[in-house]
Structure 1
């Protein structure tokens, strides 16, 4: 696979990486086709956010409806909203217009895709991610008169998105958000305000006593691994989530095969933050990494859960 500033996408989605690379392949010679691929990239990324946030769709939503819902529920903010809208609007134009799309539109979309990719990586995959420096796949010059014409059109589209965003803000203020969603938003805001992603301060000493080393932290989960097992032993990892109710996620094989950790009381939790766990396959499509969540209220309950996990790991190690 060729070298690209989008290669980091392969860490959590080969589909997004392939789409981004296709945009780069088409960018200079077929900007309209590149914009169509960018549109598909935006739709795929929004669907992944819905999956991460467990936002079930009662009925199929259009892309603009999905983006609006993410904004109204404070999952994306103004700048990310505008970037998604830029891709959506120009992607729709690329699909429906007969004339060729200007190269500058596709070049701008290329940077927007990069910005969205970095944002997703930092929020859902690795909080410590160091993004590569942005650059176009190659440098080519274009007629300055064409660039000037494109800039006028670009400013008009930006103004439309700004007006649309203001209307959405007003709707958001007037909308009565359900109590369940409001609690979710308040919990997220509390996390942001306290600058704490997951409750590490409260529970890390419990993981330490159970011989689990901290390995990584994202905005969605903290990763721990038991000291007795190697880095490649995926089953030895557990994840502490940022849920309102303290929650850890256990490797699915410990539950699906053994069922010794505890009774499964909830559906599998899917998230790219569970990076050491396998990916779920549904309808021949590879989804996000998944595991089984267990909630607890006290350090004692967490210690008991971790002890059961260690017992299962050690028993399986002896059997092997």
Structure 2
């Protein structure tokens, strides 16, 4: 497609461009296949934003969960949220339904992909990015009379889907107000450290419900022990982003969370964790940090840790 409106996407991702060009190639003759490719575009697009924003995953998230997280953290606003949800929902429908997808849905997805690409280029590539003019790819023969026959039905179905997305967005707005994400203000490292506190009150019930007993609180960390396992300690840190640190044994020997690469942290607050020896000198205690955003994510993380403690030959 020599004159595709999507070629600018290749400046920052050849994979995204390839998916966008597939949507364009299938648009007129195979709208259902075009929508499955559009959903793949949306999934890769969201993953790229996660990488740009350094939003690590404690455990694999579904696409809808990733989109919701981006919205809750104000990475995307209402318009981009709606476009991503449109691609996801209609892409899922195209993958599972027997009847052919409406061509108008694929055309709307084509425009959504263009708008998403422009947004990404402006936000992550260059603030002086100049977007090309949008246009649909040409089709030599089009029967507009036939399209008119089912247009009314399509409009009803599309409005219903848009209403569903609007309702979902309204619910997310309510959740954002009830559980706002605390943003870090731009200040010196010294001031940030001074104002940090361990979020013990917020997360202690989640630890206790997972059978992690509260043992100690320092300026930098809250200490919890899983039942009575002597090595079953985890620490809740005073980081801006909620973080727990787990025992090195779980990562280095039990091979937990291999899908999430993380570097160890050192702190005297991790008092029950090992102290490595380097050049004949004992260094600070160390463990492996994992961030989370909600109590639900923390619950899942603690459950995985508890299961690992119970299944392995740990000293109790």
TM-score, structure 1 as length reference: 0.55
Superposed counterparts of 1:23-42, under 5 Å: 23-42=23-42
Superposed counterparts of 1:47-196, under 5 Å: 47-139=47-139, 140-142=142-144, 143-177=147-181, 179=182, 182-183=183-184, 186=185
Displacement, 1:138?
1.2
SS in 1 for 2:71: helix
Q: Which runs of 4+ in 1 moved over 4 A?
A: none
Q: Match of 1:261? A: none
SS in 1 for 2:129: coil
CA distance in 1, matches of 2:178, 2:4: 44
Displacement, 1:88?
0.5
Displacement, 1:141?
4.2
Larger radius of gyration: 2
CA distance in 1, matches of 2:128, 2:180: 36
Q: Match of 2:12? A: 12
CA distance in 2, matches of 1:37, 1:19: 6
The more displaced of 107-116 and 1-10 is 1-10
SS in 1 for 2:133: coil
Q: Match of 1:296? A: none
The more displaced of 3-12 and 31-40 is 3-12
CA distance in 2, matches of 1:86, 1:11: 25
SS in 1 for 2:130: coil
CA distance in 1, matches of 2:81, 2:120: 13
**Which consecutive unaligned segments of at least 5 residues does structure 1 have?**
188-265, 268-320
Report the aligned-residue RMSD.
1.6
